[in-house]
Structures are given as structure tokens and as C-alpha cells.
Amino acid sequence: MINAEILLNALENEQEFPKFRCPYCEQSFCSIDNSLKINYNTEKSNQFAYEVGEPTDLEGHFSYKLICRNDNCKEALIVSGRTNVIEDGYDSAFDDSTGEAHDYPVYKIKHKIDFISFPINLISLPKNIDTNIKENLLSAFQLFWIDLNSCGNRLRTVIELFLDKLNIPAGKLHNRIKNLEQESHEYHSFYKILTASRLLGNECTHTYHSVERIDIIKLYTILEHLLSKYYKIDNSTYINIVSDELITKYGVDS
């Protein structure tokens, strides 16, 4: 599971805003400074939830300052976004007046990030990664929370830069990746997974409808694998599965 999946899973399932690895020192975790925590429901949703008696109609906004807990770092980030209330199962309580136990719904707050002041690494980056690839990945990490199509477009740029690293001649992305199709090519093992990446990158760039978050996560997974292979950090099984899923979904175009 890559960093993006871990963080999204925590945002979906934890009551409090989750801790995450500090993007500055990458050694400790950032957590909320409670003295600078803003969290409120909109007046419109307060009124509507009161009228219909449904907590799930509450919508809110949050702004948190998070501090790295590493004493040698202590860097700060600002995170802001929206909240909504969701049902989280049922609990039982004893009613003294009737002498019976009743089930009642339990609720929790779910956070959706809209802005982070410094990009959180959504995949692990090799220490020796090229600056231009890293900069485009950091830009994509921030866009992940705001605009998935723009994020995918930036990741498509990462693929182009990666092909430059492989000394693949300039040209249309489809043709560049075709260079790897021959089994005799040094980087033939990258052919299928780069094809899958290109197909999704094209979808993000050339269509008007939004792509799905799960597909962007698959693309991040593929890129993490490519970078770890190229920069000599090994990992391997899940990649063929997600590549096949993207090729099946978006089709092999010309």
C-alpha cells in the first residue's frame, strides 16, 4: 500500500484528522497543533440538520496547523478542507422508561483535503531522484487533492521526463514507449506499465470528464515501481495487476 492509499484510508476511517510522515525531514510525523485548530459547520447545514434531525446533513470546513514532532525539525504545515458527517454503525443503549435495549446510530466526521501548504509525498521517492522529475511529482502531489485530471496530466509529464532518462528519442509519447516493445530492449520490462500510464495520462489530458481517484492511485503505484526499479530500489508484484486494469479500462489507443 502506497502513502496515498494509507492517508486516504485514514481520512475515510479515522475520527480525528490523521498524522502523516513529515515531508520535510521524512523521519517523524506531523500532527495537529490544537491551539490553532479551526473547525465549524456551515450555518445552512446546521439549520437543515436541525430541521430534518439528520446529523449526516452537517457540512463543515476545517483549517489545521500541523507540526512535525521531530525536535530537530519542528516544521509546520497548513491543511484545510471540508468535513461531512457519516453514519458509522450502531450502538445499543438501555431505555430506563421501557426497560428495553435500543440500537441507535453512531456518527463520525470525515475529512476531505482541499489544500496543503507543502506537498505530502504520496509515494516513496528515491533519494537520488532527478530534480525535474521530483519537482513535477511534488506538483502532482498537491494537485491530487484539488484536481485529479490536472494531477494525471502532471504525472504524464513525469513519464516523458522518465523516458528522457532512458534515452528514448523525443516524439509522440505513444511512439516513444513503442521503442521499449522489443524484448531485446534494455528496458523492455517497462513497456506494459508505461503503456498503462500513458493511457490514463491521455485520458486526464484530452477528455473533459473526471477520472477516478482509484485510477490515479494506481498510476502513482506504477510510477513508484518504475522509479524504484530505475534507481535500484526493488519491488514488483502488484504492478502488472494495476497495469492490466488500466489497459482494460482505457483501451490501447494509437
In tens, the pLDDT along 85-120 reads 888 888 877 777 776 777 878 888 889 999 999 999
The reply to whether 68 falls in a domain is yes
User: Residue 236: which pLDDT band, with cuts at 50, 70 and 90?
Assistant: low
What pLDDT is recorded for position 82? 93
**pTM score, two decimals?**
0.79
Question: Domain total for the chain?
Answer: 2
CB 217 within 8 A of CB 138: no
Q: In this prediction, what percent of the chain has a pLDDT beyond 70?
A: 94
Segment 146-189, tens digit of pLDDT:
999 999 999 999 999 999 999 999 999 999 999 999 888 888 99
Helix, coil or strand: residue 94: strand
Across the range 35-54, mean pLDDT stands at: 91
On whether both 107 and 154 belong to a single domain, the answer is no
Q: Look at the alpha carbons of 193, 196, 202, 207 in this order and tell me if their dihedral is positive or negative.
A: negative
- Pick the last residue of a domain from 116, 146, 162: 116
* Res. 79 pLDDT band, cuts 50 70 90: very high
How far, in Å, CA of 201 to CA of 46, rounded?
41
Q: Which residue has the higher pLDDT, 132 or 253?
A: 132
Per-residue model confidence (pLDDT) at position 66: 95
Query: Residue 237 pLDDT more than 90?
Result: no
d(CA 26, CA 34): 22
Mean pLDDT of the chain: 88
User: Across-strand partners of 90?
Assistant: 105
Whether 11 contacts 110, CB under 8 Å: yes
Q: Are residues 23 and 97 located together in one domain of the fold?
A: yes
- CA 119, 125, 131, 137: dihedral to nearest 10 degrees? -50
Q: Is the residue at 124 inside a domain? A: no
Does the pLDDT value for residue 234 go beyond 60?
no
Nearest to 87 by CA among 104, 111, 112, 70: 104
Q: How would you classify residue 61: left for phi > 0, otherwise alpha for psi between -120 and 50, otherwise beta?
A: beta
67, 85, 116 — which closes off a domain? 116
Residue 245 and residue 149 in one domain:
yes
- Cα distance between residue 141 and residue 161, in whole Å: 17
Three cell numbers written together for 139: 506538483
Residue 187: phi and psi, rounded to 5, are: -110, 30
d(CA 241, CA 4): 18
What is the CA angle 223-227-230, rounded to 5? 140
Region of residue 74 (left: phi > 0; alpha: psi -120 to 50; beta: else): left
Residue span of the structural domain in which 34 resides: 3-116
When pLDDT is cut at 50, 70 and 90, the band that residue 249 belongs to is confident
User: Quick one: 109 and 72 in the same domain?
Assistant: yes
Residue 188 per-residue DSSP state: G
CA–CA dist 206, 229 (Å, integer): 29
pLDDT > 80? residue 29: yes
- 93 and 30, same structural domain? yes
